[in-house]
Chain A
Amino acid sequence: MAALNPGEALSVTGLRKSYDGNEVVAGIDFKVSPGTCFGLLGPNGAGKTTTLRCCLGLTTPDAGRITLRGYAIPEQAEAARERVGVVPQFDNIDPDFTVAENLMVYGRYFGIKAATIRARIPGLLEFAGLGGKEKARIQTLSGGMKRRLTLARALVNEPDIIFLDEPTTGLDPQARHLIWERLKQLTARGKTLILTTHFMDEAERLCDRLAVLDHGRLVTEGAPRELIAAHIEPQVVEVFGDDAAAWARSRNTLGERLEIAGDTAFFYCRDTTPLLTALAEEPTLRYMHRAASLEDVFIKLTGRELRD
């Protein structure tokens, strides 16, 4: 099958998908260049997983055009997936097999010869920090190890593009840092990563570009630093304490923008000097002064209310 559009790793135009009259993806467009890490951010239920499923050809969109590795999706999805790796949101490693058997069996689904897979296994396990675990049973692995095995499994066909659906959800900080480090190595090797996450530090660290998705629509798209510069004041002062909200309301001119959530007041400022001077005279209030982050952009764009 011919590659249609070899310039982009993934291109999505006008994508729409409804379930029972409820529009989960409501017309989104984005492109991912080869060798970059693209992040799809959004609260729970924003449409991230549905978008990924459409991109992999696992469900047919109601409208829109998708090309993955130049192949039209869903029509040519099977050919496109030959060189695609997937780390799903929930581990689905085969519990009936050992670590090495999992990689062997999975590699065969791609039609790779057993000898080729066998030769790749030690390198994959080394990369995933699972060296020497070939014969380990899945039940004996920790959550972080299973996640790393899922990553190794996604690489068994030497993919050009790797989809990662919330790759570090549920992991402890050590395990998350290890996964991040490995993902950076993959982009350094020229792989294209497409990841969904709701951890803003993860997106900020890993992604060259990212898009914020909410209620099935793209709210914004750009490089992490650009988004922070475009959407938010550079400095944030969080003020806590029983009287913080009332105190902040009476002094709302000390920052460009003020948000109050419970007992915490968030001042978004260009110059924090007047605010910090005022706070120095209030011994009962505690505060934290920090640089604005992607999380502030995310909250500003998607709101503070809880999502189901």
Chain B
Amino acid sequence: MGKHRIFALPRPGLRWLPVWQRNFLVWRKLAIPSVLGNLADPLIYMLGLGYGLGGLLPQVSGISYVSFLAAGTIVSSTMNAATFEALYSAFSRMHVQKTWEAILNTPLSLDHVLTGELVWAASKSLLSGLAILVVVAALGLTTSLLALWVIPVIFLTGLAFAAMGLIVCALAPSYDFFMYYFTLFITPMLLVSGVFFPADQFDQLPAAVQAIAAGLPLAHAVLLARPLLLGEVPANASVHVAALLTIAILAFIAATVLTRRRLLK
């Protein structure tokens, strides 16, 4: 592919829908174990830590620990679902099964394929986050109708992590490569973004590190989801939404350019 075509902005168009449909059709065959798997693990952590560890703790940020943990569990479970789909599943389709190669012989372009994968990974993560939200509501950990606004927050979080995951997918020589992304990015982010404890626990860290931590996508997602579950309008909501949206867009542009370089040489 010529340089100007490699670096052109993505042209998502509307033809990506059959790519989404393809993934949905595969998922439907394995829907029940998939949903159970996505739901069980985060719930065990949330309930185990929330009531177990929470029993030892005084209130955290003015609420019970399990209520505090609920928002973090929803967004981290969204993050995991989107990341796994954009890493392992997308890589299988791109590199192992050559599904994308087959699609590129049809009128669809690589931009359509990537848009379909992006929206699919975000859709799957929406289901993951939504399932936890339903349990959280059923346990009475949230009672406000404002909690419904968590649903678009989940989808936006899913888009941001799916787009970042597609960058890693474009760069990966093999499945082993993904371990770096988890160890160097996802896991540290999980600890500094206010999922398990308030992010200001790190206030003794240098200001630069705190600034980076505050800019992480998971931190923005937590700061949106937690107040909404408690029935409050998040402070600086537009800043957090804009940050997640910007991350999603920039990451998707980067993923598109990198994948074109990989596949359309």
- Give the contacting residue for A94; candidates B18, B97, B264; CB below 8 A: B97
Which residues of chain B come closer than 8 Å to A109, judged between CB atoms?
Answer: 18-19, 103, 106-108
Q: In the complex, which residue of chain B has the Cβ closest to the Cβ of A163? A: B105
Asked whether any CB of chain A lies closer than 8 Å to the CB of B21, the reply is yes
A287 at interface by CB-CB < 8 Å: no
Q: A126: CB under 8 A from chain B?
A: no
Least CB distance from B257 to A in Å reads 15
The chain A residue sitting closest to B6, CB to CB, is A60
Per the 8 Å Cβ criterion, residues 66-121 of A in contact with B are 74, 78-79, 81-82, 84, 86, 88, 90, 92-97, 101, 105-106, 108-111
Residue from B1, B98, B107 in contact with A81 in the complex, judged by beta carbons closer than 8 Å: B107
Given the interface pairs A58-B264, A92-B102, the reply to whether A74 lies near B29 with Cβ below 8 Å is: no
B5 CB contact (under 8 Å) in A56, A60, A84? A60
Is B262 in contact with chain A by the CB < 8 A criterion?
A: no
Closest approach, in angstroms, between the C-beta of A59 and any C-beta of chain B? 6
Chain A residues with Cβ below 8 Å from B265 are 19, 59
Chain B interface residue count, CB cutoff 8 Å, equals: 25
Within 8 A of A (CB), among B84-143: 97-99, 101-109
| Chain A interface mostly | loop
Query: Does B211 lie at the interface of the complex (its beta carbon under 8 Å from any beta carbon of A)?
Result: no
A78 to B264, CA, bound (A): 14
What CA separation (Å) do A199 and B15 show in the bound complex?
38
B264 shortest CB reach to chain A, Å: 6
B107–A92 CB distance below 8 A: no
Q: Are B106 and A96 in contact (CB under 8 A)?
A: no
Using known A-B contacts A59-B264, A105-B18, A106-B102, determine if residue A96 contacts B26 with beta carbons closer than 8 Å.
Answer: yes
Q: Complex: how many Å from CA A96 to CA B97?
A: 10
By the criterion CB–CB under 8 Å, are A92 and B109 in contact? Answer: no
The CA of A248 and the CA of B31, in the complex, are separated in Å by 72
CA distance A19 to B108 in the complex (A): 25
A232–B247 Cα distance when bound, in Å, is 65
Q: Which residue of B lies closest to A87 (CB)?
A: B105
A59→B102 CA distance, assembly (Å): 15
CA A90 to CA B105, docked complex, whole Å: 13
Contacts of B102 in A (CB 8 A): 88, 92-94, 106
Contact status A108-B264, CB under 8 Å = no
Q: Which residue of the partner chain A has the closest CB to B30? A: A96
A56, A109, A157 — most chain B CB neighbours (10 Å): A109
Question: Chain B's nearest CB lies how many Å from the CB of A74?
Answer: 7
Q: Are B105 and A78 in contact (CB under 8 A)?
A: no
Q: Which residues of A contact B (CB under 8 A)?
A: 19, 56, 58-60, 74, 78-79, 81-82, 84, 86, 88, 90, 92-97, 101, 105-106, 108-111, 157
Query: Nearest 3 A-B pairs (CB), nearest first?
Result: A92-B98, A109-B106, A86-B105
Q: 22 A-B pairs, CB-CB below 8 angstroms? A: A58-B104, A58-B105, A78-B108, A81-B105, A82-B107, A84-B105, A86-B105, A88-B102, A90-B98, A92-B102, A94-B99, A97-B26, A101-B25, A105-B18, A105-B21, A105-B25, A106-B102, A109-B103, A109-B107, A109-B108, A110-B107, A157-B106
14 other A-B residue contacts (CB within 8 Å) besides A58-B105, A81-B106, A96-B26: A78-B109, A79-B107, A81-B107, A84-B105, A88-B102, A96-B29, A101-B25, A105-B25, A106-B106, A109-B19, A109-B103, A109-B106, A110-B106, A110-B107
